[in-house]
Amino acid sequence: MSIDKVLKIHFIGIGGIGVSALARLFLLGGKDWVMKNFGKVLDAQTAIGAEKFLITGSDLVESEVVLDLRKLGAEIAVGVHKKENLCLCHAELVSASSINVVDSGSAMPRMVRGAAAGMTITDNPDLIVYSAAVPKDNPELKEAKKLKILCLSYAQVVGELTKKMFTIAISGMHGKSTTTAMLALVLEKAGLDPTVIIGTKLKQWDGANARLGKSQYLVIEADEWQASFLNYWPKIIVLTNIEEEHLDYYRDLPHIMKIFQEYLGHLPADGYLVANGDDENIKKIFNFQFLISKQFPTSNSKNYELKTKNFSWFSLRQIEAKELRRVLQIPGQHNISNALAVLSAARILGVKDEIIFQALSEFTGTWRRFEESYLKIKNYKSKMVSGGKPLKIISDYGHHPTEVKATLQAAKEKYPDKKIWVLFQPHQYQRTYYLFDRFVDSFDQADGLILMKIYDVAGRETKELKQKVSSAKLAQAIRERDQRRGVVRPILTVDDLDQAKKLIVSNVVEADILIVMGAGDIYKILNSTF
């Protein structure tokens, strides 16, 4: 009986929005696709001679993403991370039960009985892919490094892919997911069949966050956290905006701009830069001296040369903005700007304007980006949400002051006669602390505000900051600002979702709009029973 070799790749934090997208591509592409794009990285004999292909992973919690990946053939452990997870589908699992194996060249799993099918799985994976959120002391990561298994971060693996494909990277503090989604759907409609990695879920792809195409084009959302995008080597960079964010990693705005400068230096001589001409910080980078010298001015002696001479600026002042305001289904000036970025990038790739505008007119948004729905609340006072009548809900991922303002402005534009309530969950103590003053005035257009406790991101907070900032302090600062402005409105605080539901029931009326905003677990209220 012949023994088949198995190429095994293990994803730590596989339920994360980025890592899960990458795992999805690996599952859809199969062994041949993986070896084509990562063969030089996976140079072990097991990988080279492998006839079968297995994706495993681990995550702290069960989720729709985890269930979806299991359907594609992944074997995933849920719960506390432990080194034994590296041996998924080995030993007792192989002998005791059937397992999912993806045949080379196929994305569909088939059931294989362990040894009876002539299949052997080695104890250790050939490659570990881990999320940037995974701490260094993660038991699986520590064990893998101890065993000298190749360990690469999500960004490093995506970086390898950008070297192989014609990559369009969407970058900036805000608008990345929406812009990436828009561009992906434009290129898909144009027949360019792109591969896509995106930081959200798309309705058009049945809620998937990745797409495997057959062309040379790769569209990615290039995250700036921990300077992850320095791993990428795109042919086109779309730059939406630059401002203070992720101040747990970056020192200040000059540090952020310096890292962006280095990133833009990754563009090749024949590459293209698509940049927002309305953004003040982007314009500061591209001053007159820079345009002459082709070098970024920095505070020290090190400069980063921009090799390309191909620039495309987009602005709300350009004539196409008027037409986009007419055809776009999603509201807000920020989304007009996102669409203009897509227009510029798609034109570079030779897509006709007719196709671009048609695709953009059909775009209805992405998961938790001004996503509208209804919530039924029964049996309350006649003046409140009652009789099972639906309350209009806008779910939004916004967690930065700029994003909060943009979402509120978009809501006011779309519903000028409605009273707008906001249920907001601040995301991270460090972000709330460093951007505190900006958060205070970011809710000015809300008619009522309910603040939840700050969402604590494990491994990214300090005890010192937790003592310095809270939702109660933010609420008080907003009340004091309102008093100075002569504004009277409810500013409330709650500790959990149950308390939030009670305040919604007792304060929000049928005719109101409720925006549920934040990057933590606040979205769970949408599936609650009131």
What is the tens place of the pLDDT at every residue in 317-341?
999 999 999 999 998 899 999 999 9
Q: What are phi and psi of 371, to 5 degrees?
A: -90, 120
Spatial neighbors of 138 by CB under 8 A, at least 6 apart, are 12, 81, 130
* String of DSSP letters for 345-357: HHHHTT--HHHHH
Q: How far apart are CA 454 and CA 435, in angstroms?
A: 13
Closest CA to 219 of 170, 156, 260: 170
In percent, how much of the chain has pLDDT > 70?
Answer: 82
48 band by pLDDT with thresholds 50, 70 and 90:
low
Do you know the residue count of the chain? 530
Render pLDDT for 489-507 as a digit per residue (tens, 0 to 9). 999 999 998 898 888 888 8
pLDDT (0 to 100) of residue 398? 87
Angle at 364 between CA 360 and CA 367, to 5 degrees: 125
pLDDT (0 to 100) of residue 179? 97
Instruction: With beta carbons less than 8 A apart as the criterion, state whether 76 and 66 touch.
Output: yes
Which DSSP helix (H) or strand (E) runs through 133? none
Name the residue with higher pLDDT: 464 or 510: 464
69 band by pLDDT with thresholds 50, 70 and 90:
very high
Is residue 488 pLDDT above 70, yes or no?
yes
Q: Set out the domains of the chain in order of their start, with CATH numbers.
A: 6-153 (3.40.50.720), 165-362 (3.40.1190.10), 371-527 (3.90.190.20)
Q: How far apart are CA 169 and CA 395, in angstroms?
A: 26
Q: How far apart are CA 67 and CA 99, in angstroms?
A: 15
Q: Choose from 95-99, 163-167, 204-208 the range with maximum mean pLDDT.
A: 163-167
Taking residues 261-288, report their average pLDDT. Answer: 88
Which residues does the annotation place in the binding site for ATP?
Answer: 172-178
In percent, how much of the chain has pLDDT > 90?
Answer: 52
Q: How far is CA 411 from CA 89, 284, 449, in A?
A: 49, 31, 14
Beta pairing, strands 236-239 & 208-211: unpaired
Name the residue with higher pLDDT: 479 or 62: 479
166 band by pLDDT with thresholds 50, 70 and 90:
very high
Q: How many CB atoms lie within 10 A of CB 157?
A: 22
Spatial neighbors of 118 by CB under 8 A, at least 6 apart, are 1, 2, 3, 4
Q: How far is CA 414 from CA 290, 327, 400, in A?
A: 41, 14, 21
pLDDT (0 to 100) of residue 120? 42
Taking residues 36-56, report their average pLDDT. Answer: 74
Look at 120-134, 353-367, 490-504 and tell me which has the smallest mean pLDDT: 120-134
pLDDT (0 to 100) of residue 365? 84
Name the residue with higher pLDDT: 42 or 241: 241
pLDDT (0 to 100) of residue 380? 45
Q: How far apart are CA 200 and CA 191, in angstroms?
A: 22
The helix-helix angle for 353-362 and 320-327 (nearest 10°) equals: 40
pLDDT (0 to 100) of residue 384? 45
Closest CA to 432 of 410, 408, 455, 414: 455
pLDDT (0 to 100) of residue 269? 93
pLDDT averaged over the chain? Answer: 84
pLDDT (0 to 100) of residue 123? 61
- The residue written with tokens 């006011």 in the block is 412
pLDDT (0 to 100) of residue 295? 44
Which residues does the annotation place in the binding site?
Answer: 172-178
Render pLDDT for 414-439 as a digit per residue (tens, 0 to 9). 999 899 999 999 998 988 998 999 99
Q: How far apart are CA 455 and CA 460, in angstroms?
A: 11
The helix-helix angle for 333-348 and 176-189 (nearest 10°) equals: 40
pLDDT (0 to 100) of residue 113? 30
Is residue 111 pLDDT above 70, yes or no?
no
Write down the pTM of the prediction.
0.80
What order of strands is seen across the sheet that includes strand 420-424?
371-376, 390-396, 513-517, 420-424, 448-451, 491-493
Instruction: With beta carbons less than 8 A apart as the criterion, state whether 351 and 476 touch.
Output: no
H helix runs in 42-150, sequence order: 45-48, 64-72, 92-96, 139-146
Render pLDDT for 229-246 as a digit per residue (tens, 0 to 9). 999 999 999 999 999 888
pLDDT (0 to 100) of residue 458? 66
Q: How many CB atoms lie within 10 A of CB 241?
A: 21
H helix runs in 318-419, sequence order: 320-327, 333-348, 353-362, 401-414
* Structure token digits, residue 502: 């009670």
Closest CA to 338 of 326, 325, 351, 348: 325
pLDDT (0 to 100) of residue 369? 83
pLDDT (0 to 100) of residue 512? 85
Look at 88-92, 362-366, 441-445 and tell me which has the smallest mean pLDDT: 88-92
pLDDT (0 to 100) of residue 529? 62
pLDDT (0 to 100) of residue 392? 87
Is residue 95 pLDDT above 60, yes or no?
no
Collapsing DSSP to helix, strand or coil, 269 comes out as coil
- The residue written with tokens 């989304």 in the block is 335
